Amino acid sequence: MKKHLSVGIKGVRESAQEFVEAWRRAEQGRSVEQPIERLYFEDLATMLRVLTPRRLEVLKVVHEIGPVSVRALAGRMKRDYKNVHHDLQVLERAGLVTRSPDGKLTVPWNKIIAEIALAA
């Protein structure tokens, strides 16, 4: 199954309301055709601080090569270990990278869809 992640900007109240609406749909037995997981940032500046071009490159490479250690990834990308480690910590805290039981890093998403509303 293809896993998609929708990334966008929403305040706490709006994202909580979306959760409540999804919960109510589930209680009523209404399903969604293909569930899409979501990750919201409070504002555009925060989203851009997390999703830098280098970190997007890290996501692509980890997705491409599969479960990998930080050291192997740094070598593959010809980047400093410390910088790659920091990027992965940020991405992992955001939920964009996961760790397998053996500590290897993976990206469970096939596609990340970014959405930025121009008007409220």
- In degrees, rounded to 5, the angle at the alpha carbon of residue 81 between the alpha carbons of residues 76 and 83 is 110
Q: Is residue 57 part of a domain?
A: yes
Distance between CA atoms of 86 and 92, rounded to whole angstroms? 10
Domain that includes residue 28, residue range: 4-115
Q: Is residue 120 part of a domain?
A: no
pLDDT in tens, the chain (120 residues): 468 888 888 877 776 677 677 677 777 777 665 566 888 898 899 999 999 999 999 999 999 998 999 999 999 999 999 999 999 999 999 999 999 899 899 998 889 988 888 876
Q: Is residue 69 part of a domain?
A: yes
Q: Is residue 53 part of a domain?
A: yes
Domain count, the chain: 1
**One-character DSSP codes across 6-26:** EEEE--HHHHHHHHHHHHHHH
